Amino acid sequence: MKISDIFTCQKCGGHEIEEVVIGVTISSLVENVYDDGDIEYGPSENDGGEMDRYQCANCGKEIIDGMIGIKDVDQLYEYLMNLKNGKEN
């Protein structure tokens, strides 16, 4: 299912959902360091982390189903199916 066809943020009207992961280690290849101090990075890798929440990608409002924050993909799927079927959340 296409999220933007189903989800509308109640705070800002945005149509995208992002997953927020905490405790992630990110390592990036440093390709160049310029005279002005800017760094050019190459590819990066993510390792570890724990899924924390889903939120509106536009404003950061946490996606809530009733009174409970959505913490896993099964809950997100159920929430979106309820929206698709016109059920209040």
User: Residue 72 corresponds to which amino acid?
Assistant: D
Going 60 to 70 to 11 to 56, the CA torsion angle's sign is: positive
Residue-level pLDDT at 47: 94
Contact predicate 72/20, CB 8 Å: no
Containing 5, the helix (H) or strand (E) segment is helix 3-6
Contact predicate 79/3, CB 8 Å: no
Residue ranges in the chain whose pLDDT is less than 70? 88-89
SS3 80: helix
pTM of the predicted structure, to 2 decimals: 0.76
Where do the structural domains in the chain lie, given as residue ranges?
A: 3-84
